[in-house]
C-alpha cells in the first residue's frame, strides 16, 4: 500500500507543552458558531478546554482537576464533557461554569466513556469487569457484569461493542440483549490478542478493533467473506528484510463510513479506506521516538486531533521528558482523507 496524496493543511499544537504534565489520554470537541471548543484529558489529572478560532488564535477556556489520572474523555452537549479516571470516578464537566460533578463510580480504572444523547446517559467500561449505564436526569446507574476486565469499548446508537480477554462482544442496549452471535459470529468473536482500541462503523454495519500485535481487524456484520471481513498490518516498522517490529494500535477513528485512521506506539497515524483496502495517507509524530497516545476526527470532521507522548510500550527506560507531551490539531482537507 502507498500514500496517494499529500496534505498541506495547517497543523498546530493545542497550547504549549508546559501545560501538560503527563500523557494525554483523550481529545474531543465541538464545532461552534465562532470557532471550536476543544478539550483534552491527561494522566496529569487535569482536563483543559481551549477555544480555537484559527491556528494562531487559541485561548484557554477552562480547566478542572480530578483526584486521580484521567483516562478517557467524551463530549456530550451544550459545552459539557464527561471523563473517567484511573480511580473509577465518572464525572461531568461544564466548561462554561468551570465545574465538575461526579455522577457514578466504578471499582477500578475507567477505560472508555461515551454519551448516548437519545437516552441522556453515559456508558462506561472498566477494568472492574463491568459496563455501566448512568442516566443523568435520574442519577440511576445500572451495571452489567461481563466476563473479565474491559479494556476497550465503543457505543453508537443502540449498539455497544467491547472487548474482554479472548472475546469481542456486541450488545443492543435498547433491547437489552447480546448480539455477538448474530452480528459477529462465534468464530470471529474469539480473539488471541489484547485489544487496545475499537470503533463501530458510522453506519453500524461493522466494527474495527486494533490489538497489541499492530494489526487492525475489520469485521463486517452483513458480509463475513474475506473481501469485507479481514485483518491487516496497521502499525509496524520494518527494520530489515527479515525483521519487522509491531506496535499497539492505540486509537481508531472514522472520518466517514469507509475512511478511518489507526494510530499507535510506532509514532504514526495511518488513514485507510476499508472498502478499497488501501492506505490513503500517513502522518508521523512531530516528536522523534514519541508514541501517538490518542487520535480522533473531531468537531464534525474539521480536525484530526492527536497527541504525542508516552504509553509505556518501551517500559520505564523509554519515558519521555514531560515537555514532550503535546496535543496537536490538523485541519482536515481533501488530500488527507480522499483515496
* Contact indicator for 46, 63 with CB cutoff of 8 Å: yes
Does 164 map to a domain? yes
The model carries a pTM of 0.92
Q: Per residue in 125-144, pLDDT tens?
A: 999 999 999 999 999 999 98
Does 296 map to a domain? no
DSSP letter (8 states) at residue 187? H
Domain count within the chain: 1
Does 43 map to a domain? no
Does 303 map to a domain? no
Q: Which domain holds residue 261?
A: 65-290+332-337
* Contact indicator for 169, 182 with CB cutoff of 8 Å: no
Does 97 map to a domain? yes
Does 274 map to a domain? yes
* Contact indicator for 70, 307 with CB cutoff of 8 Å: no
pLDDT exceeds cutoff 60 at 228 = yes
* Contact indicator for 78, 104 with CB cutoff of 8 Å: no
What was the pLDDT predicted at 75?
Answer: 97
Does 270 map to a domain? yes
What was the pLDDT predicted at 121?
Answer: 95
Mean pLDDT for the stretch of residues 51-67 = 92
**CATH number of the structural domain spanning residue 178:** 2.130.10.10
Does 10 map to a domain? no
What was the pLDDT predicted at 317?
Answer: 52
- The torsion angles phi and psi of 247, rounded to 5 degrees, stand at -130, 150
In this predicted structure, which of 26-35, 241-250, 269-278, 316-325 has the lowest mean pLDDT? 316-325
Amino acid at each position: 500500500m502507498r500514500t496517494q496524496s499529500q496534505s498541506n493543511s495547517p497543523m498546530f499544537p493545542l497550547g504549549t507543552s508546559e501545560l501538560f504534565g503527563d500523557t494525554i489520554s483523550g481529545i474531543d470537541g465541538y464545532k461552534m458558531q465562532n470557532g471550536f471548543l476543544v478539550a483534552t484529558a491527561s494522566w496529569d489529572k487535569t482536563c483543559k478546554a481551549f477555544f480555537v478560532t484559527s491556528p494562531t488564535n487559541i485561548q484557554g477556556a477552562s480547566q478542572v482537576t480530578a483526584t486521580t489520572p484521567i483516562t478517557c474523555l467524551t463530549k456530550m452537549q451544550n459545552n459539557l464533557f464527561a471523563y473517567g479516571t484511573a480511580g473509577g470516578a465518572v464525572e461531568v464537566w461544564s466548561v462554561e461554569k468551570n465545574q465538575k460533578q461526579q455522577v457514578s463510580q466504578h471499582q477500578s480504572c475507567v477505560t472508555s466513556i461515551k454519551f448516548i444523547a437519545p437516552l441522556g446517559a453515559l456508558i462506561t467500561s472498566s477494568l472492574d469487569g463491568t459496563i455501566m449505564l448512568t442516566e443523568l436526569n435520574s442519577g440511576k446507574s445500572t451495571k452489567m457484569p461481563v466476563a473479565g476486565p474491559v479494556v476497550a469499548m465503543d457505543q453508537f446508537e443502540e449498539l455497544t461493542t467491547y472487548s474482554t480477554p479472548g472475546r469481542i462482544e456486541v450488545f443492543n442496549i435498547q433491547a437489552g440483549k447480546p448480539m455477538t452471535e448474530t452480528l459477529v459470529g462465534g468464530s470471529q468473536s474469539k480473539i488471541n490478542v489484547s485489544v487496545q482500541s475499537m470503533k463501530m462503523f458510522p453506519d453500524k454495519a461493522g466494527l474495527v478493533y486494533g490489538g497489541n500485535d499492530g494489526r487492525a481487524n475489520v469485521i463486517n456484520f452483513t458480509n463475513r467473506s474475506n473481501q469485507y471481513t479481514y485483518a491487516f498490518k496497521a502499525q509496524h516498522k520494518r527494520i530489515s528484510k527479515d525483521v519487522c517490529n509491531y506496535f499497539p494500535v492505540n486509537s481508531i477513528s472514522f472520518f466517514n463510513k469507509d475512511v478511518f485512521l489507526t494510530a499507535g506506539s510506532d509514532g504514526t497515524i495511518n488513514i485507510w479506506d476499508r472498502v478499497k483496502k488501501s492506505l490513503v495517507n500517513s502522518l508521523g509524530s512531530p516528536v522523534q521516538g514519541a508514541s501517538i497516545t490518542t487520535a480522533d476526527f473531531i468537531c464534525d470532521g474539521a480536525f484530526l486531533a492527536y497527541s504525542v507522548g508516552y504509553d509505556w510500550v518501551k517500559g520505564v527506560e523509554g519515558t519521555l521528558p514531560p515537555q514532550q507531551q503535546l496535543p496537536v490539531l490538523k485541519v482536515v482537507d481533501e488530500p488527507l482523507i480522499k483515496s
